[in-house]
Amino acid sequence: MTAPPKPLSLSAERALSGTVSVPGDKSISHRSLMLGAVASGRTTITGLLEGEDVLATAAAMTKMGAVIARGDTAWTVDGVGGALLEPESALDLGNSGTSARLLMGLIAAHPITATLIGDDSLQARPMGRVTAPLGDMGATFASRGGRLPLTITGAAQPMPIEYTLPVASAQVKSAVLLAGLNTPGDTIVHEGEVTRDHSERMLRGFGAEVEVTETDRGRTIRLRGQPHLSGQAIRVPGDISSAAFPIVAGLIVAGSRVTVTGVGLNPTRTGILEALGLLGANVGVSKDGAAGAEPVGDITVEAGPLTAADIPARLAPLMIDEYPILMVAAAFADGDTEMRGLAELRVKESDRLAVMAEGLAACGVPLRLLDDGIVITGSGGRAIPGGARIDSHLDHRIAMSFAVLGLNAAAPVLVDDARPIETSFPGFAALMQSLGVSAHVDDQER
Ligand code: S3P
């Protein structure tokens, strides 16, 4: 990032109230650009998230031959119809792990070479989880220690694999399935814990044959290789991961009532609603439609007392990105909230377990950090002390979580840098202001 850091703090002088809609779902936005880019014909996308992560995917697909344009009402993607071109320069994926891992999958089964680069946060993230199965399919990799910068050469004759995910990761599952697209025969992935299934749903929409069988030991996904994919009209629902911020804000500021409309309610993403329910939150959901294969609805919350609860580890893959903001809700519950099964949080845009624990402690929230979880002692609704400057470690969700925490703090919570918020939630501060929050943005600081 070349621009100077932009510190941000939020405060609430009164209850929050209003109806808002949040930007498009990040996972679905990435996938719509990628599948549109390899399909034949034109894909139109409305509601695309115009955040930095998704724009990095668009730029990468353009370098590999797709023609992508932003129109007045929709984005258009004219696909390459199968064969990706070799990019002439490095693919810069910024902060985006989803771009890096899913693109490696796409490239793995094309006979091209590409170099993937990213920011300091992305360069610290493990890629071995995708290079291992993609290597089995015939791709080769050059990197230092399995991290970015990394050069991948796709297989000229890719081989289908049957792969059991060693970690609950939709990115790894999707990388293997995307490689399976240009691979003869059936590519099969077993997942012990169900992870977000946007890839499976969208692949079917583009015309691929995807068979999913579910047992009490998880799901098996079988993709028939070399399908004909045709361009589609895609409507991207609002991102529940972004909606979680105004939702928790509405829960922790007394007297608030907040509605978020048009949110994606895919059951592999709604763990946060169940977790907030366990805390006794007043959350109403109306499922009122669908955007293609994705269910959509409105979420309304009213502030009220929250009660501590044990958040079961089985929810982790269904709400992995929402733990930072759930921890903020837990900071206002009455009693000790325990969350387990969170080892994956340590390899996100930052080590989210450590960074949340550090920031909450600095704000005077009592907690105990565990190897794979955290126990947070909530204030029972009273303002937490606050009065800290938070190092958000180039992590958008950490930055937004602490900005929300500051809404019920005795002294301001200053987030060191709001710039990473652009990766997933452009307009975050303005949306919060529209609910009645005051935002203090200091872009003078150097
Ligand atoms: C994503 C999957 C999740 C999530 C990320 C987006 C996706 O990562 O944290 O923000 O779009 O598939 P993992 O698959 O590594 O859990």
pLDDT at residue 445 tops 50: no
Give the pLDDT confidence score for residue 442 in this predicted structure: 73
Of the pLDDT bands very low, low, confident and very high (cuts 50, 70, 90), residue 1 is low
For 61-100, the pLDDT digits (tens) are 999 999 999 999 999 999 999 899 999 999 999 999 999 9
Q: Is 321 annotated as a binding residue?
A: yes
CA of 394 to the centre of ligand 1 (A): 17
pLDDT at residue 123 tops 80: yes
Pocket test for ligand 1, best of 130, 171, 345, 352 (most atoms within 8 A of CB): 171
Annotated domain spans of the chain: 9-24+237-440, 26-235
Backbone CA torsion sign across 433, 2, 405, 283? positive
Please state which CATH number belongs to domain 26-235.
Answer: 3.65.10.10
For 231-255, the pLDDT digits (tens) are 999 999 999 999 999 999 999 999 9
Give the pLDDT confidence score for residue 330 in this predicted structure: 99
Listed range (7-16, 122-131, 286-295, 318-327) with the worst mean pLDDT: 286-295
% of the chain surpassing 90 pLDDT: 96
Of the pLDDT bands very low, low, confident and very high (cuts 50, 70, 90), residue 144 is confident
Short-list 326, 403, 321, 419, CA closest to 363: 403
Q: For ligand 1, is residue 239 a contact (CB within 6 Å)?
A: no
CATH class of 9-24+237-440: alpha beta
CA of 77 to the centre of ligand 1 (A): 23
Domains 9-24+237-440 and 26-235 belong to one CATH topology: yes
Buried-exposed string 92-111: b where 16+ CB fall within 10 A, e elsewhere: bbbbbbbbbbbbbbbbbbbb
Q: What mean pLDDT, rounded, does the chain reach?
A: 97
Give the pLDDT confidence score for residue 54 in this predicted structure: 98
Give the pLDDT confidence score for residue 446 in this predicted structure: 39
Amino acid at 147: R
Catalytic residues: 321
| Residue for token pair 């990394």 | 150
Q: Is 9 annotated as a binding residue?
A: no
Q: For ligand 1, is residue 196 a contact (CB within 6 Å)?
A: yes
CA of 54 to the centre of ligand 1 (A): 13
Q: Kindly state the average pLDDT of the residues 207-217.
A: 95
For 340-362, the pLDDT digits (tens) are 999 999 999 999 999 999 999 99
